[in-house]
Amino acid sequence: GNSVTQMEGPVTLSEEAFLTINCTYTATGYPSLFWYVQYPGEGLQLLLKATKADDKGSNKGFEATYRKETTSFHLEKGSVQVSDSAVYFCALSLNSGGSNYKLTFGKGTLLTVNP
Amino acid sequence: SAVISQKPSRDICQRGTSLTIQCQVDSQVTMMFWYRQQPGQSLTLIATANQGSEATYESGFVIDKFPISRPNLTFSTLTVSNMSPEDSSIYLCSVLPQAAYGYTFGSGTRLTVV
């Protein structure tokens, strides 16, 4: 079956530090990959996505590159801010119809950024 | 991308009662999804709801406990029936309006069962 494994954390960083949250996946096929962010007390927001190998998704200073050879989609940001404190979820979907449209999520990584 | 209005945003319910959660989308979508997020956990898909057909439930979830309605292409409801404290979770609806936009989520319903 499909699965997503991500660094569970929690991760605590100082403002302006470099962030990496690792994410690897297992899928029967060629999935689309996503990073979602959940700020305290809120629902999920799409942060970035990539739909094929070597695609780079980027948004708000965050980046992730779809690496087929290592089945990875690591999230990075060069300089985090206090406002980036949230839970980050890596996810995949196969988009091939039927139940494969569903998202499969990793367990989430809590990021806390201190001033 | 689509905008989802989910109601209620939170509720505290007595065990043994039922709660119906509504999800309204500002555009027509074929697929709607209902997820559960238990405290401190990731999201788990409950069911996929397509208009005009029965919802498809994931392993571990049954229609008697989580009945779903999908009367049209912009609206769905999820009912949590005969609630127990173990049902205390955040429930979220999600849609996929177009593959290029990715999935959109409602803001969630925080349910506490006492």
Please indicate whether, in this complex, the C-beta atoms of A36 and B31 are within 8 angstroms of each other: no
Q: Write the DSSP string, A38-92.
A: E-TTS-EEEEEEE-STT-EEEETTEEEE-BTTTTB--EEESS--GGG-EEEEEEE
Inter-chain contacts counted by CB atoms under 8 A, chains A and B: 48
Q: Tell me which residue of B28, B32, B48, B99 sits closest to A93, measured CA to CA.
A: B99
Q: Which residues of B touch A103 (CB under 8 A)?
A: 33, 43, 45, 94, 103
Please indicate whether, in this complex, the C-beta atoms of A43 and B105 are within 8 angstroms of each other: yes
List, in sequence order, every residue forming a beta bridge with A6; answer none if it has no partner.
A23
Query: How far does the CA of residue B42 sit from the closest CA of chain A (Å)?
Result: 5
pLDDT tens-digit profile of A2-45?
899 998 889 999 999 999 999 999 998 889 999 999 998 788 89
For residue A10, say if its preceding peptide bond is cis, omega within 30 degrees of 0.
yes
Tokens of A104: 């499969």
For residue B8, say if its preceding peptide bond is cis, omega within 30 degrees of 0.
yes
Query: How far does the CA of residue A12 sit from the closest CA of chain B (Å)?
Result: 17
pLDDT tens-digit profile of A70-114?
999 999 999 999 999 999 999 998 865 555 577 889 999 999 999
Please indicate whether, in this complex, the C-beta atoms of B94 and A103 are within 8 angstroms of each other: yes
Query: How far does the CA of residue A15 sit from the closest CA of chain B (Å)?
Result: 25
List, in sequence order, every residue forming a beta bridge with A64; answer none if it has no partner.
A57, A75
Render each residue's pLDDT in chain B as its tens digit; 114 residues.
Answer: 788 999 999 999 999 999 999 999 999 988 899 999 998 888 999 999 988 788 999 999 999 999 999 999 999 999 999 999 999 999 999 998 666 567 889 999 999 999
Residue in A32, A101, A105 closest to B42 by CB: A105
CA angle at B97 for the pair B92 and B98, rounded to the nearest 5°: 135
List, in sequence order, every residue forming a beta bridge with A111; answer none if it has no partner.
A11, A86
Which SS3 state, helix, strand or coil, does residue B82 take? coil
Give, in order, the Cα–Cα distances in Å from B99 to each of A26, A83, B17, B107.
Answer: 21, 29, 38, 20
Q: What is the C-alpha separation between B23 and A68, in angstroms, rounded?
A: 36
